[in-house]
Amino acid sequence: MGTDRREAYAFLGLAAGLALWYCSPWLPLAVPGALLFLALAWVRLDLALVFVLFSSPFYLFPKNIGSMAFSLTEFSILASFIAWAGRHVYTRLTGGQWDLDLPPGWRPWRSPAMLFLAAATLSLFFSQYLPVSLREYRVIVLEPFLFYLMLITSLRGGSAVWRMTNALVLLGVAVSVIALYHYFFIGVVESTGGVRRMLGIYHSPNALGLFLGRVAPVALALGVGLPLRAFRAASLSGRIKEWIEGQGPGWPYLAAALLIAPSLVLSYSRGAWLGVGAALLLVAALSGRRAILALAGAAAAALLVASPFLGLGRLASLVTTSQRLYVWRSSLNMLADRPLTGVGLDNFLYYYREGGYMLPEAWAEPNVAHAHNLVLDHWLRLGVLGLAVLAWLQVSFWQKGLALYRTLRGHNLQSVAVALMASMADFLVHGMLDNSYFLVDLAVVFWLTFGLMEVMEKETQREVASP
């Protein structure tokens, strides 16, 4: 049996195991599905990690087992981690060496990701509402960190990087198509400000905009960075293999961006529009004159097509802006009282609503769960150490990204480096107005973006060092 066929069977087996575990109403049927996923993750962890990514937007639909609830994301991360840890322990016990393919020179005390975990752990000691902090620590800090750890220690070669990047684009298309179907055929919308805002699988249009805003720049960057030619392979399987390994043309990514764009527009998330706009400017700056012209033409065409749906009343409304300003003032008041420790993970709502920090003029929106600002949110959740974490993570990411952009000139992985930086640009710009990291899907995509950059750096250093 060929390698490609074995890989396809492993992928389908992982999908079947995950589906059986999640969809079965009876535990005796769910357990074999879980064991199948675990066994195949032991053999092909790189493919199991794809399902962590695929499941991340669906965290709002957990599986209930008795009094406990587990999302698909949580199950796939924990099952993959058990396989990852079990395989390494087994290798060690049978006389082998630890097979942790860490980046050269990696040390825990040099890793901003480890500092992030440490800051989040330390924040638990200062949480007034510890049960909600512990839950957020588990599902948004620890488990996505485990995903990142498995990424940087297990992925090898450019094809593995391309597989995860393509999976992200494919996931964005799937979420967008589901949202469009719900919007036009089922009528699942949120009517506000004179417009019908798209929800899709989320409970908030802003959450949809946050997720798709991280994916759309990736698709566009790959679309303008790769040659616009036909597939070389004649067969469908050959074309799929080309696409998975990053040898395909750019037009499928442009098509993916066109499928995602309507959902971004119909979310009416102004933060998402600003974030994607900033990401496009970065892509244009890094990709040359042809990309600037292509992106300018695409933006003009998108505005022309979307103009009937933009909802000028929504765009001109200052209600949301006023609410943001009220929340920021309240956040600054919290920080004035707790500048070193912040208020703790997922404690903002309780301090804001019950601790006397909500301004009287903000009465119309009392249930605010976070600071709606990247800097304030990290500071309030993680304390002053959270600011250091945020700064170090960003400095490390952009140093690696720009260095790879220069080193990989002429290599198809250069487009991936640009795509990851574009996604991070959206994280920064949209995050200044809304959530940034502290949702399950955003956390998974953040560590995917950060981890893939480290994997590419590792592979590049390895190629340079080899004779």
Chain segment 48-70, per-residue pLDDT in tens: 999 999 999 999 999 887 778 88
User: Is a pLDDT exceeding 80 seen at residue 314?
Assistant: no
pLDDT band at 299 (very low <50, low <70, confident <90, very high): low
Residue type, 449: T
Name the 3-class secondary structure at 345.
Answer: coil
- Enter the pTM of the model: 0.93
- What mean pLDDT is predicted for residues 275-285? 92
Does residue 457 contact residue 400 with C-beta atoms inside 8 Å?
Answer: yes
Band (pLDDT 50/70/90 cuts) for residue 315 is low
CA distance 194 to 180: 19
**Distance separating alpha carbons of residues 301 and 6, to the nearest angstrom:** 43
Which carries the bigger pLDDT value, residue 175 or residue 360?
175
Q: Is the per-residue pLDDT at 244 higher than 80? A: no
Which residue, among 294, 220, 293, has the nearest Cα to 256 in the 3D structure?
220
Cα 348 to chain centroid, rounded: 23
- DSSP, residue by residue, 348-381: HHHHHHHSS-S-GGGTT-----S-SSHHHHHHHH
CA distance 48 to 91: 20
Over residues 357-403, the pLDDT tens digits come to 999 888 888 889 999 999 999 999 999 999 999 999 999 999 999 99
For residue 192, the cross-strand partners are 195
Average pLDDT for 207-215: 96
DSSP state of 103: P
Torsion of Cα atoms, 160 then 162 then 163 then 168, to 10°: 130
CA 219 – CA 253 distance, rounded (Å): 5
HEC letters along 294-322: HHHHHHHHHHHHHHHHCCHHHHHCCHHHH
CA angle 217, 238, 45 (to 5 degrees): 65
Question: Residues 246-256: what's their mean pLDDT?
Answer: 85
- pLDDT above 70 covers a percentage of the chain that reads 87
Q: CB under 8 Å to 175, separation ≥6 — which residues?
A: 57, 200, 201, 208, 211, 212, 215, 263
- Distance, in Å, from the CA atom of 216 to the CA atom of 221, rounded to the nearest integer, reads 9
Q: Which of 141-145, 170-174, 180-184, 359-363 has the lowest mean pLDDT?
A: 359-363
More confident residue, 142 or 93: 142
Is the confidence at residue 4, as pLDDT, over 50? yes
